[in-house]
Structure 1
């Protein structure tokens, strides 16, 4: 079982390498342009994707591979008071979109992470981001999804296995952080 899972991971990473480099380059460029022009990156997702949102935001605000100034990034998954108040008053589908409405500005970037690509609260956040003239990036799995249809750029990990998709989402998140680090 262990060898099988490692082999499956390697196959998905190989497919990512073969199929997704232009998309990853485009995502890196969108993020670099936003940061260099004084805008921020906002991230959201549920469960493991919420953790990935926090992880990537932390790499921007803290540091990734080298010392540099702190960069503006916000994980919309972290403020329990906002999440529970909005969830209680408006419903769970609005927990990210209300934050985008409050904190997003034209030129900012929203990265929505959803292995299915169909998380209703991520979709609602994309809708709000579009209304605010923000750039939108979806990290999804291989299936066709609503996120894919809404986002300016979609990274579709070539797998339908949630664990493999999440492993590649964080890999690409690190690649994006490295690309932004190169500006400093």
Structure 2
């Protein structure tokens, strides 16, 4: 029982002259570093996308977020960031996350809540888009701006989006981390655009 209650101390070894074997942590860190270096190629597209979304919100529209798989939680987090739930220091913006299972649940929410001039951001991180396809088509039919933050090409959902940001090829967990990072950047850029308007 003493082993379970023994205090543990983890130290980061100095990098000077130490040979550290490449284990699970270092392998994941290196993979993430390579992926994040590739994300720099999305900078201009991300800034332009943020400008379009800020224009939508600045004109009185709202921003819907939806995801598939692990991206559902990311969509909820990003909507909460913009609406002021997670960032009470800024002006609350009209953003909400859609959720639901089944092929037409998201599409029906888009039909119920979306209005011309609104925008929707689809998050898939490279999983099969499933219900997102129907939601994207419902959004396009309703005159919403459809933005996709998607997995690597070819991505089936890209054809139904007005603007797409596609992640480079990487293991699913690395793509999900990159998706969250890009989502946070997008939210920050939207706030910056609106603050400067």
Normalising to structure 1: TM-score of the pair? 0.87
Paired residue secondary structure (1:47): coil
Structure with bigger gyration radius: 2
Q: Which residue of 2 aligns with 1:69?
A: 91
Q: Which residue of 1 aligns with 2:66?
A: 44
| Deviation of the 1:69 alpha carbon | 2.0
The answer to whether structure 1 residue 126 and structure 2 residue 136 are counterparts is yes
Relative to structure 1, the CA distance from residue 65 to residue 75 in structure 2 (aligned partners, 3 Å threshold; closer, same or farther) is: closer
Structure 1 or 2: more helix by fraction: 1
| Deviation of the 1:22 alpha carbon | 1.8
Paired residue secondary structure (2:137): helix
| Deviation of the 1:9 alpha carbon | 0.3
| Deviation of the 1:161 alpha carbon | 1.5
Q: 1:176 aligns with which of 167, 178, 186?
A: 186
Q: Which residue of 2 aligns with 1:31?
A: 53
Q: Which residue of 2 aligns with 1:80?
A: none
Q: Distance in 1 between matches of 2:52 and 2:86?
A: 18
Q: Distance in 1 between matches of 2:108 and 2:87?
A: 33
Normalising to structure 2: TM-score of the pair? 0.82
Q: 1:9 aligns with which of 32, 36, 39?
A: 32
| Deviation of the 1:64 alpha carbon | 6.3
Larger RCO: 1 or 2 (CA < 8 Å, sep 6+): 1
The answer to whether structure 1 residue 136 and structure 2 residue 146 are counterparts is yes
Unaligned stretches of 5+ in structure 1?
78-82
Unaligned stretches of 5+ in structure 2?
1-23
In angstroms, what is the RMSD of aligned CA positions? 1.6
Question: How many residue pairs are counted as aligned between the two chains?
Answer: 171
Paired residue secondary structure (2:103): helix
1:4-60 per-residue CA deviation (whole Å, 9 max, x = no partner) reads: 10110010000011x211211121111111110010110111231000000000001
Q: Distance in 2 between matches of 1:69 and 1:24?
A: 22
Q: Which residue of 2 aligns with 1:103?
A: 113
Paired residue secondary structure (1:30): helix
